[in-house]
Amino acid sequence: MDLYEHQGKELFARYDIPVPRGIVATTAEDAARATEELGGRSVVKIQVQVGGRGKGGGVALVDSPQRAAEEAERMLRDGFKGMPVTRVLCEELLPIAREFYTSLLLDRSTGRYLALMTAEGGVDIEELARTRPEAIRRVQVDPSIGMRPFHVRELVAALPSESRQGAADIIGKAYRMLLEVDATLVEINPLVQLEDGRVVALDSKVTIDDSALFRHPDIESLRSAFPIDPVEARAKEKGLQYVKLDGDVGIIGNGAGLVMSTLDVVAQAGGRAANFLDVGGGASADQMATSLEVVLSDPAVSSVLINIFGGITRGDLVARGVLEALERVQPKVPIVVRLDGTNAAEGRKILAEAQHPNIVSAATMIEAAQLAAALASGVAA
Amino acid sequence: MSVLVGRDTRLLVQGITGNEGTFHTRRNRDFGTNVVAGVTPGKGGQDVDGIPVFETVADAVRETKANTSMIFVPPRFAADAILEAVDAGIGVVVAITEGIPVREMAEVRAYLDGRSSVLVGPNCPGVISPGEANVGIIPGEVCTPGRVGLVSRSGTLVYQIVHELTRRHLGQSTCIGIGGDPVHGIGFIDALAMFSDDPDTEIVVMVGEIGGDDEERAAAFISERVGKPVVGYIAGFTAPPGKRMGHAGAIVTGSSGTAQAKAEALEAAGVKVARTPTEVAELVQVALS
């Protein structure tokens, strides 16, 4: 789960990592009042779960409450990269002497934590990693010994000597936070040194491991702040993985790999997938019915492809679920069904006996994809 | 012959008394797997269809000489179960459980360093050597014994591709699902090395998906070290960047981790990369003819 900047900074504050004074605003008037309170000037920042705000008009320096209101109004009205924006963060302006970058993250390739530090902050770190990798210090942290003083010394040696103490202090606290809140990423870009010498986290990017949220109900509850598509929310409630895409062939399958593969095969057949939907293992009739409802709630869908290879998932239950769903939703579009694996023969028999006018059976995955793509484009298959 | 699991496997099931644990223990035993013990804390002394249940893995190993463990323990206790199995000297640990916190898996990985135990998973479908042993949830009936080794991140793609192979009478030596979690046990490289050394594996099928750089690193390993033909498949060519596609593993970020980049890396290493699961079987057939 990716946190908003202000949510990440609230965690920073809990761990005594210095952050600028900031106030969250959900309206233009609130942004003006916040800026007033911050001394009449502020930086207004869009709160979204993606990067690239600086270049994309998501950050504005303002010198009056009036200007803060104007910027906030624009941000809240226009959204960001196609996503709705419900809040901005107004922060005090600080006199910055230097900008650095630091991050702690889980390195998938080693299964260890990786700490990065560079004196060249405020930039596009991926660009820097490509062009001048030697400018970034990397330290691997073995989780069995944790972040040790020698790791920290190695990292902060990348910085001017007068910045090291403050940065070292922040690194230590950030590592503790990473472990305690089960984060897989804590990024501070930029990490700044002020003219008075203090080192402060000017931005935050924090990702929490979804699998660990069960032990952090306070962090889990932050999710309510994120705009979520109502259809995606409904799917999530039932334990389904649903991602809306922009084609017209609705896709339901079991297992992320098989569903992604189905998306690819549909594209090769000349179709465009309307969504990704993984019913998961052991899909029940009710889950299948909900899946169909979720997929059909997208008005762009003109055909549906159900591709199930049963391991834990049983074909007979899938077939019953499809029929149950058809009772519930009365679809107007054709539904291509391909069943294989555990109890597939029973499932195919149930569907054949039902003789439902909307159901089209397919013997193989490729045949199913071709049928679904052709039916979506209105070509008689 | 086979890798990881086979006729010598003496299987212990951690979490044997849970619904899924019992169900798959029965299926694995019916397949011919030698299931010797189960472990469920608090239920030592009971049995499941005659399979004795122990309090601890150490007890089970002492009494039954179990050498392989399959884990169906719920996510919040599963990392402890893996560590317990490794600590008791189990040689092959197959963790089926989905949703283990990554921080605990990082600790497990660190503990495995320098030890001889091999971890498969978590969040994986397990390992099957057709005709010999099935340790996990891969439906045994779609497999047939033969000389194709298969390794995959995705579970259901194992089923789909094995099904395509079996339809063309291309049997399998061993099929390994390594799982889609960010921190896991053996990866493509370990599996490729095992298949490379297995005299009865003639060709290897490697099934990847978007996210991370495991496939790219495997490609480098193949060109250096694998003398046998390898057929590849990558799922997720049409996945939009930045969207999480179900697995923790399946997310494209930035320019790296795309299906295109992975396919290109594999092709550069001499791997034939199929564009559909059906084409995987066709390419294997061509390579073996």
Asked if domains B1-123 and B138-289 share a fold, the reply is: yes
pLDDT (mean) for A346-362: 93
Residue A350 makes CB contacts below 8 A (sequence gap 6+) with A316, A319, A320, A323
Q: Residue A77, Cβ neighbours under 10 Å: how many?
A: 9
Whether chain B has a CB inside 8 Å of the CB on A180: the answer is no
CATH code, A230-376: 3.40.50.261
Per-residue pLDDT band for A381 (boundaries 50, 70, 90) equals: very low
A191: β partners: A100, A201
- What is d(CA A254, CA A306) in angstroms, rounded to the nearest whole number? 9
Residue B106 to residue A106, Cβ atoms within 8 A = yes
> What's the pLDDT score for residue A380?
47
Identity of the residue in B76, B209, B254 whose CB atom sits nearest the CB atom of A257: B209
In chain A, what are the domain boundaries? Answer: 21-91, 96-224, 230-376
CATH code, B138-289: 3.40.50.261
**Residue B237 C-alpha, separation from nearest chain A C-alpha, in angstroms:** 6
> What's the pLDDT score for residue B1?
67
Of A190-199, A305-314, B74-83, B257-266, which range is least confident?
A305-314
- What is d(CA A107, CA A104) in angstroms, rounded to the nearest whole number? 9
> Looking at chain A from residue 13 to 32, which residues have their Cβ under 8 Å from any Cβ of chain B?
none
Between chain A and chain B, the number of residue pairs with CB atoms below 8 A apart is 170
Residue B180 to residue A257, Cβ atoms within 8 A = yes
Q: Say whether the peptide bond before residue A190 is cis (omega within 30 degrees of 0).
A: yes
> What's the pLDDT score for residue B248?
47
Residue A341 to residue B163, Cβ atoms within 8 A = yes
Whether chain B has a CB inside 8 Å of the CB on A105: the answer is no
Asked whether B173 and B199 are in contact (CB, 8 A), the reply is no
The total number of residues shown for chain B amounts to 289
- Judge whether residue A39 has pLDDT over 90: yes
Chain B residue numbers touching A179 (CB-CB < 8 A): 103
Q: What is the edge-to-edge ordering of all strands in the sheet holding B145-152?
A: B133-136, B126-129, B172-177, B145-152, B203-209, B230-235, B272-274
Fold of the domain built from segment(s) A96-224: D-amino Acid Aminotransferase; Chain A, domain 1 (3.30.470)
As given in the structure block, the two tokens for residue B217 are 């690193």
Chain B residue numbers touching A112 (CB-CB < 8 A): 106, 109-110
> What's the pLDDT score for residue B244?
62
Identity of the residue in A109, A260, A265 whose CB atom sits nearest the CB atom of B213: A109
Chain A residue numbers touching B244 (CB-CB < 8 A): 243
Chain B residue numbers touching A113 (CB-CB < 8 A): 106
Chain B residue numbers touching A269 (CB-CB < 8 A): none
Closest-CA residue of chain B to A216: B101
- What is d(CA A282, CA A270) in angstroms, rounded to the nearest whole number? 31
**Residue B213 C-alpha, separation from nearest chain A C-alpha, in angstroms:** 7
Whether chain B has a CB inside 8 Å of the CB on A233: the answer is no
| Closest by Cα among A91, A74, A76 to A22 | A91
Q: Which of A80, A105, A205, A209 to mutate to test the interface with B (most CBs of B within 10 A)?
A: A209
Q: What is the edge-to-edge ordering of all strands in the sheet holding A88-91?
A: A22-25, A88-91, A42-46, A59-62
Whether residue B247 lies in the annotated active site: yes
Chain B residue numbers touching A257 (CB-CB < 8 A): 152-157, 180, 207, 209, 235, 247, 250
Strands A275-278 and A241-244, by their bridges, are antiparallel
Chain A residue numbers touching B139 (CB-CB < 8 A): 310-311, 341-342
Q: Kindly provide the ipTM of the predicted complex, given to two decimals.
A: 0.89
Helix (H) or strand (E) holding A331: none
Give 10-residue mean pLDDT values along chain B (289 residues): 94 96 95 97 96 98 98 96 98 96 96 96 96 95 96 93 96 96 94 97 96 90 96 91 57 66 95 96 96
Residue B156 to residue A258, Cβ atoms within 8 A = yes
Whether chain B has a CB inside 8 Å of the CB on A114: the answer is no
- Which 8-state DSSP code applies to residue B113? T
> Looking at chain A from residue 41 to 80, which residues have their Cβ under 8 Å from any Cβ of chain B?
50
- What is d(CA B83, CA B86) in angstroms, rounded to the nearest whole number? 5
Chain A residue numbers touching B128 (CB-CB < 8 A): none
B73: β partners: none
* Amino acid code (one letter) for B60: A
Longest dimension (CA), chain B: 56
**Residue B171 C-alpha, separation from nearest chain A C-alpha, in angstroms:** 17
Residue B242 to residue A365, Cβ atoms within 8 A = no
Asked whether A31 and A23 are in contact (CB, 8 A), the reply is no
Q: Which of B156, B176, B190 to mutate to test the interface with A (most CBs of A within 10 A)?
A: B156
For domain A21-91, the CATH superfamily is ATP-grasp fold, A domain (3.30.1490.20)
- What is d(CA A59, CA A76) in angstroms, rounded to the nearest whole number? 12
A138: β partners: A116
Q: Concatenate the DSSP letters of all residues of B30-92 into one string.
A: HHT--EEEEE-TT-TT-EETTEEEESSHHHHHHHH---EEEE---HHHHHHHHHHHHHTT-SE
Chain B residue numbers touching A131 (CB-CB < 8 A): none
Q: Which of B238, B258, B262, B273 to mutate to test the interface with A (most CBs of A within 10 A)?
A: B238
Q: What are the backbone dihedrals phi and psi of residue A101, each rounded to the nearest 5 degrees, phi first?
A: -140, 140
Q: Residue A348, Cβ neighbours under 10 Å: how many?
A: 19
User: Known catalytic residues of A?
Assistant: 101, 187
Q: Say whether the peptide bond before residue A20 is cis (omega within 30 degrees of 0).
A: no
- What is d(CA B262, CA A177) in angstroms, rounded to the nearest whole number? 34
In chain B, what are the domain boundaries? Answer: 1-123, 138-289
Identity of the residue in A142, A256, A267 whose CB atom sits nearest the CB atom of B246: A256
Helix (H) or strand (E) holding B179: none
Identity of the residue in A126, A268, A311 whose CB atom sits nearest the CB atom of B254: A126
Rounded to whole angstroms, what are the CA distances from B11 to A196, A286, A314, B40, B50? 65, 35, 25, 14, 14
CATH 3.40.50.1950 is the classification of domain B1-123:
no
Closest-CA residue of chain B to A182: B103
> Looking at chain A from residue 326 to 365, which residues have their Cβ under 8 Å from any Cβ of chain B?
340-342, 364-365
